[in-house]
Amino acid sequence: MEPENEQLKSELILDELKKRKRTKEVIDIEEERVKVVIFTCGVNLYAFYGSDIREILPSCEISWVPSLPDYLPGLINVRGDIESVIDLRHFLGEEKDDRGKRLIAMAVRGDFHSGVMIESIEDVVDVPLSTIHPPLATLNGTARDLVIGEIEYGGKTISLLDIGKLAALITL
């Protein structure tokens, strides 16, 4: 009877080991991700949702139009379409520096189409939706009106800006 008893005991141990292994397995759940475009404006990093940016244009000639507000330096021609250009630094409280060339991010949301002046593109990344945190309550200035969240990138906290809120600010 001993061999049968030992076989039963070894089966119990194997069953217990299998049970422990199953409880330690990591279950891979596909988390919803969103694409963000990380860019510099002034001296700081910011981000837009990738779905709001149609394309990035190299620096091009901006045609000045009289009587436009400070945040609209003029108009550009994009393959035959005339688009306005928004100087984002005005809304973010960034110092205006007219040296150097700027890129233009073509922003589109619903009926809103406009170019947004930025210094450079840092990265385009997919981030898990759960890693986008609400903006700090202590955020002040005009930037507070545009920020809808914050993400971590390269050890830095980056403000995620909302194109829809920017559109609402300039169409008032």
133 within some domain: yes
Residue-wise pLDDT tens digits, 90-121: 888 887 766 567 899 999 998 999 999 999 99
6 within some domain: no
pLDDT beneath 70: ranges in the chain: 1-7, 22-29, 97-100, 138-142, 172
14 within some domain: no
163 within some domain: yes
Look up the CATH number of the domain holding residue 109.
Answer: 2.40.50.180
pLDDT value for 172: 64
20 within some domain: no
21 within some domain: no
Separation of alpha carbons 48 and 40, rounded Å: 11
pLDDT value for 93: 81
Q: Count structural domains, the chain.
A: 1
What CA dihedral angle connects 92, 97, 103 and 104, to 10 degrees? 50
51 within some domain: yes
Looking at residue 133, the DSSP 8-state letter turns out to be: B
The model carries a pTM of: 0.76
100 within some domain: yes
Range of the domain at 64: 33-170
The strands making up 44-49's β-sheet, listed across from edge to edge, are 120-128, 33-41, 44-49, 156-161, 147-153
